[in-house]
Amino acid sequence: MNNLRIPPGIRVFNSIKDFRQWRRQILLDRQTLGYVPTMGALHRGHLALVSEAKKACDHVALTIFVNPAQFAPNEDLGTYPRTLQADLDALAQHFDRATVLVPQVAEMYPSGIEPDVTKQVGPFVEVKGFSHQLEGTTRPHFFRGVATVVSKFLNIVEPEQVYFGQKDVQQCVVIQRMIRDMHFNVHMNICPTVRESDGLAMSSRNTYLTPIQRKYALVLYNALKLMQEMYENTTKHAPTLVAAATELVNKTQQEAQAECEIKLDYISIASPSTLNEVTDDIKDGCIMSGAVYVGKTRLIDNLMLDVKL
């Protein structure tokens, strides 16, 4: 942190107390604050959220915080890309002003944060009914970590508007439910997934991919598009669509075998209101989503059909 060059127009806070003073003045000036929570390694997806916030609000704040509570002990907390200087430079390049809070783990989790969930102490937020399926099958404590840290940040930032990307669609459903039911005084905005020119969903984890893996990384989006195409032209029977998408991933897996390991985690067609799997014809729109390992990198993507969150 000491060698950080703060580019012009960018304000960086490391202390929650200092950030709050800045925020309070905005309130007393009767101006509004838009908020974009991030784990850093900013890409065009994040910048699109900041752009949206800029349009609607007088001020925009980001948080950059790699949240330990949402990583399982076997996951990539240690290697998750931390690129603070590049993040600040990217913000300065695209925006005239932005405020960034970069808090320490010890300030965010005053009771500490053990990697082992059973040893954790302190308050945690769980969104029951929406956290155990889909991503939650492979990552059972992920949304607990997300809901907890987003709650903390909403209490700290107290924004009028908050921005999330549709790329993490289950996160959107979980946080939307949490904001509504916990009565957070904030309006939630869900912005479209930003994609590379070939269609790959932007993700900080894309930087893990080797050139060959990058080529095959499109397999999940192709599978989702196949389901969409069939849904629009052939059949609305969810299990048939999932089977076709699974077959496409399996075929790609076999083709790639020599140069790149591909492993399907799940393909799902779920109800947007319950996140339960659609087991028959899709009636009131759906969330098509999936997760695939390309090499050791776990990629997720989704399409929402005939429905808005």
Which helix (DSSP H) or strand (DSSP E) does residue 206 occupy?
Answer: none
Q: How far is the CB of 231 from a second copy (least distance, A)?
A: 28
46 an active-site residue? yes
Q: How far is the CB of 52 from a second copy (least distance, A)?
A: 24
Query: Which letter does DSSP use for residue 201 in this model?
Result: B
Give the residue with the Cβ less far from a second copy, 100 or 209.
100
Answer yes or no whether residue 158 interacts with a second copy by CB under 8 A.
yes
Are 104 and 67 in contact by the 8 Å Cβ rule? The answer is no
Answer yes or no whether residue 141 interacts with a second copy by CB under 8 A.
no
Q: Given 43, 46, 141, 183, which residue is catalytic?
A: 46
**Interface mask toward a second copy for 249-278; x: CB under 8 A:** ------------------------------
Are 65 and 72 in contact by the 8 Å Cβ rule? The answer is no
**Interface mask toward a second copy for 100-139; x: CB under 8 A:** --------xxxx--------xxxxxxxxxxx---------
Answer yes or no whether residue 146 interacts with a second copy by CB under 8 A.
no
| Closest-CA residue to 148 (of 183, 196, 188, 113) | 113
Quote the CA–CA distance of 271 and 170 in Å, as a whole number. Answer: 11
Are 38 and 44 in contact by the 8 Å Cβ rule? The answer is no
Answer yes or no whether residue 181 interacts with a second copy by CB under 8 A.
yes
Answer yes or no whether residue 171 interacts with a second copy by CB under 8 A.
no
Answer yes or no whether residue 182 interacts with a second copy by CB under 8 A.
yes
* Cα-based distances in Å from 4 to 14, 47, 86, 146: 12, 20, 10, 27
DSSP helix/strand/coil, 256: helix
Give the residue with the Cβ less far from a second copy, 130 or 231.
130
Give the residue with the Cβ less far from a second copy, 16 or 256.
16
Buried b (16+ CB within 10 A) or exposed e, 150-185: bbbbbebbbbbbbbbbbbbbbbbbbbbbbbeeeebe
Name the segment binding a second copy (CB under 8 A); options: 175-183, 206-214, 218-226, 280-288.
175-183
Are 309 and 272 in contact by the 8 Å Cβ rule? The answer is yes
Quote the CA–CA distance of 260 and 280 in Å, as a whole number. Answer: 34
Binding a second copy by CB under 8 A: which of 7, 9, 16, 51? 16
Answer yes or no whether residue 178 interacts with a second copy by CB under 8 A.
yes
| Closest-CA residue to 141 (of 116, 110, 123) | 116
Q: What are the structure tokens assigned to 156, written together?
A: 């700290």
Answer yes or no whether residue 187 interacts with a second copy by CB under 8 A.
no
Answer yes or no whether residue 185 interacts with a second copy by CB under 8 A.
yes
Q: How far is the CB of 174 from a second copy (least distance, A)?
A: 9
**Interface mask toward a second copy for 54-93; x: CB under 8 A:** ----------------------------------------
End-to-end CA distance of the chain: 38
Binding a second copy by CB under 8 A: which of 59, 139, 141, 152? 152
Q: Which positions are annotated as active-site residues?
A: 46
